[in-house]
Structure 1
Amino acid sequence: MTSTITTLTPTGTLGYGFGSEALQGGLAMKPDVIAVDAGSTDPGPYYLGTGEPLVSDYSVRKELEQLILAARERKIPVIVGSAGGAGTNKQVDRVAQIVREIAREHKLSFKLATIYAEIERERAKQAFRRKEIVDFEAGFELTEDIIDATDSLVAQMGHEPICSALDRGADVIIAGRACDDSVIAAYAIWRGADPGHAIHMGKILECGAFSAEPFAMDVMVGILEEDSFLLEPGASFRRASVKSVAAHSLYERENPFIQSGPGHRIDLSACTFEQEGDRRVRVRGAALEETSEYYIKLEGARRVGSRSISIAGIRCPTMIERIDTILPNIERQATSYFAGRSFKLNFHVYGRDAVMKTLETERNKRAKELGLIIDVVAPTADEAHAICHNISGSLLHHHYDGMKNTSGNLAFPYSPSDLHAGDVYEFSVYHLMKVTSPLEVFPIHMETL
């Protein structure tokens, strides 16, 4: 690397917003690349299982339009990772189509790269038979039957496929599932930057201005130099501090000194954080260690049923006092009524323990009112609806000791009171798979718009 490399990350997730003043402030720092993450497993397996977008097309288009126009004016690339939320092929194609529409509307011509991250089940089963798949955080043994039952299977790419697309002259890159830090670091590594510094910077930048004060989904800029990098927010009313940057360096990390990724580990034990002026922080000391074998993370989701919910409020103090006996009675009635039917029922009682469940330390503290979600998962939507409606109706008219009315136990805010909440998915694969090269399972498609 013979010069500084400046990376602008507009937000923590494409479609979650950024300030126009912050974007202009970031662009004034003359970035060499705009790079942004667009997905996560945090919202659960639904978006992976269905391929539906995490963020609306409206929001993605609104933000991509601003970023692509700014990038084309400056002749710098735009990189989007984990497109659509889970990085499935369907989601990549959806975001790529938005890019084509933007190019057509604004009469732009550039090279678009799409990088796909879905894994064929047979490829995963071959790796399983060769004992090249190991547990990551799944907590269960993978089997071929589980792989076969998986509806959608993706792998997290590292920086290498993105660098390969840059080698081919890509101006805009829409990548499938990718490591967050790799998306941000790829361009700098491609330009010859120290990969340890680049990936560490990527880890801090991937959430946008969450490493600034006050934190937000907003613009953050990283400037890579020979032996360190600087961080500065785009918005003039934010600042990077040693505390905010060091704290975010620990984000989502079990070990504060090790940052693992495809084919490498970043040793952070010698890192230092220095304040430079009021708004900048300089970071030094990250060191990359290549692993002897190259593993990528697999993420798979399978359908387990359909969900219906009913939302209600409870204000009667007598019912609130007896809620711990009323709900089990209702569950027993439903189990008897739907004998032979497979379903899962959960009562989420807000004001008692809905958030913390068994970890709640003040469960017996009396509330003035309770919010109740009746949550039913069954094999089909019709079954889930029938069971949910039966339970909400039974609870509405349920008689309990001390009752002073004949019905109306629940206050429903909506009509209909029972709502279809879609198909339900669970993570069926959350493992690491060995590959022969970083590019092996990530095909790249190039087109000129």
Structure 2
Amino acid sequence: MGSIDPGPYYLGSGEMAAPMTMVKRDLALVLTASLNAGVPLIIGSAGTAGARPHLEATVAVLREIACEKGLSFRLVTVKSDLHAEMVLTSLNKGELEPIGPMPEPSADDVINCQHIVGQCGTETLARALALDPDVVLAGRACDTAIFSVFPELLGYPVGLSLHMAKVIECTSLCCQPGGRDAMLATLDADGFTLESMNPACHATPASVAAHALYEQANPYEVEEPGGTLRLHGARYEAVDAHRTRVRGAEFVPRENPTLKIEGAAYVGSRVVLIAGVADPGLLTCLPEALAAVEEKVRTLLPGDWRVVPHIYGQGAVRTLPPEQFSSHEAGLVIEFLAHDADMAMTVASVFKQNLLHHAFPQRLTTAGNLAFCFTPPELAGREAYRFVLYHVMHNAPLDQIFQVEAQSIAPAWIQ
């Protein structure tokens, strides 16, 4: 149901990324279909980031649907929230390992996280399924786990189950052309066959094999909570023009399962200024001009605020050498962050005025060196959050962290 792909805002704020209208529509479709088929429904990363507010909001939507459609079912929830104290204990023991270039958090950083979640794996979902649910609703969950837990419990090879899950959790992105249509995977003891539910999207050997590069630094080894999925021996064969057969993946279990944790902390209120620059002189000195204007504004508005400029055409997306800078036009997206919205808006407005009239070398006009898309050009950007925790926790007490609870859902007139 979700992930942290949309960034730290949703984990920090507790809000859903998807519009509630679409959340309710999609949940109603899968819930009624699963109940009619007598097949348990597993939902992972409830409400986008899987923290307590997301889980509670999703349970509320399921209750609404049950009431409106007259449905009754047994719901098992998996809470994925971690207390800061547990994270600090792990940090002090040297049992937190960053994923990528994450700085080591301080104790205050951890304590100031609005929400901290752990990404549950198949072992936790197996505990939930043991309670005989119609619906399992997990907080933050490993994407592959919600698809691989059933076949693993039924005795299918773990490597094949995980490889299949790794592909179908991204729907038809593994197809040519790629899309967002549902995928059907048919698994047996020797391999699995992939088929898109869209007849125009074809799972070809090349497109499925290429999917091993998706979100992976190493296309041959995929790290999962319980071990490593090894794709060195994976083979991809066309069944026909629409379907591909996959076999050969292996799983190497880890002696102690690891736990990925995520935590987001509040940074401040954000206001965004969007402008375009086409003046040749200003284009040659944009970073210097922005720094000079910031220095001037700080003399007018002292306080705790930040300016974060993004110069599109001069390296906003990736680092560019000066010879590749755009010489005809650049886009400015400038973030202003402060503890409260009024201060952020004030800084943005004063910065705008000073940038409009900033005296730079080769300036020909005293104004008009910026073009604004909107009026007013200062746009409220809601609150800003940052990832403090994007780490692997070793020796995590999984049974303590993931609380599994069962409840009955039914319309009020049935209860």
The two structures have a TM-score, normalised by structure 2, of: 0.92
Deviation at 1:80, TM superposition (A): 1.5
Is the deviation greater in 123-132 or in 149-158?
A: 123-132
Report the counterpart of residue 385 of structure 1 in structure 2: 345
Q: Is it true that 1:444 corresponds to 2:404 in the alignment?
A: yes
8 Å contact kept, 1:158–1:438: no
Of residues 41, 52, 59, the one that matches 2:4 is 41
8 Å contact kept, 1:138–1:430: no
Of residues 13, 20, 23, the one that matches 1:60 is 23
Residues of 1 paired with 2:76 and 2:206: CA distance? 38
Q: Is it true that 1:97 corresponds to 2:56 in the alignment?
A: no
8 Å contact kept, 1:160–1:439: no
Residues of 2 paired with 1:180 and 1:362: CA distance? 42
Match of 2:371, SS state, is coil
Deviation at 1:323, TM superposition (A): 3.7
In structure 2, relative to structure 1, the CA distance for the partners of 1:142 and 1:407 (3 Å cut) is closer
Q: Alignment length, in residue pairs?
A: 409
What amino acid sits opposite 1:416 in the alignment?
A: P
Deviation at 1:129, TM superposition (A): 3.8
Report the counterpart of residue 148 of structure 1 in structure 2: 111
Residues of 1 paired with 2:286 and 2:393: CA distance? 47
Report the counterpart of residue 33 of structure 1 in structure 2: none
Of residues 105, 109, 112, the one that matches 2:75 is 112
Report the counterpart of residue 210 of structure 1 in structure 2: 173
In structure 2, relative to structure 1, the CA distance for the partners of 1:448 and 1:131 (3 Å cut) is same
Of residues 173, 176, 183, the one that matches 1:220 is 183
What amino acid sits opposite 2:300 in the alignment?
A: Y
Residues of 1 paired with 2:323 and 2:202: CA distance? 38
Unpaired stretches in structure 2, ≥5 consecutive residues: 410-415
Which deviations, in whole Å up to 9, do the C-alpha atoms of 1:267-291 show, x marking residues without a partner?
2211111111111111111122221
Backbone CA RMSD of aligned residues: 2.1
In structure 2, relative to structure 1, the CA distance for the partners of 1:445 and 1:390 (3 Å cut) is same
In structure 2, relative to structure 1, the CA distance for the partners of 1:407 and 1:217 (3 Å cut) is same
In structure 2, relative to structure 1, the CA distance for the partners of 1:307 and 1:363 (3 Å cut) is farther
What amino acid sits opposite 1:158 in the alignment?
A: G
Report the counterpart of residue 25 of structure 1 in structure 2: none
Report the counterpart of residue 424 of structure 1 in structure 2: 384
Which deviations, in whole Å up to 9, do the C-alpha atoms of 1:14-52 show, x marking residues without a partner?
xxxxxxxxxxxxxxxxxxxxxxxx222222211111111
Match of 2:350, SS state, is helix
Q: Is it true that 1:237 corresponds to 2:186 in the alignment?
A: no
Of residues 248, 254, 257, the one that matches 1:291 is 254
Match of 1:304, SS state, is strand
8 Å contact kept, 1:92–1:176: yes
Residues of 2 paired with 1:396 and 1:129: CA distance? 50
Report the counterpart of residue 196 of structure 1 in structure 2: 159
Residues of 2 paired with 1:142 and 1:397: CA distance? 41
Residues of 2 paired with 1:291 and 1:323: CA distance? 51
Q: Is it true that 1:176 corresponds to 2:139 in the alignment?
A: yes
Residues of 1 paired with 2:72 and 2:323: CA distance? 61
In structure 2, relative to structure 1, the CA distance for the partners of 1:362 and 1:202 (3 Å cut) is farther
Residues of 1 paired with 2:11 and 2:48: CA distance? 8
Which deviations, in whole Å up to 9, do the C-alpha atoms of 1:181-223 show, x marking residues without a partner?
1122122223332221111111111111000111011111111
Match of 2:390, SS state, is strand
After the TM superposition, which residues 13-412 of structure 1 pair with which residues of structure 2 at under 5 Å, given as runs? 38-320=1-283, 323=286, 325-339=288-302, 341-356=303-318, 358-359=319-320, 362-367=323-328, 369-412=329-372
In structure 2, relative to structure 1, the CA distance for the partners of 1:271 and 1:370 (3 Å cut) is same
**Identical amino acids, percent of aligned pairs:** 33
8 Å contact kept, 2:280–2:327: no
8 Å contact kept, 1:241–1:281: yes
Deviation at 1:123, TM superposition (A): 2.1
What amino acid sits opposite 1:342 in the alignment?
A: D
Deviation at 1:334, TM superposition (A): 1.9
What amino acid sits opposite 2:61 in the alignment?
A: I
In structure 2, relative to structure 1, the CA distance for the partners of 1:436 and 1:393 (3 Å cut) is closer
8 Å contact kept, 1:294–1:437: no
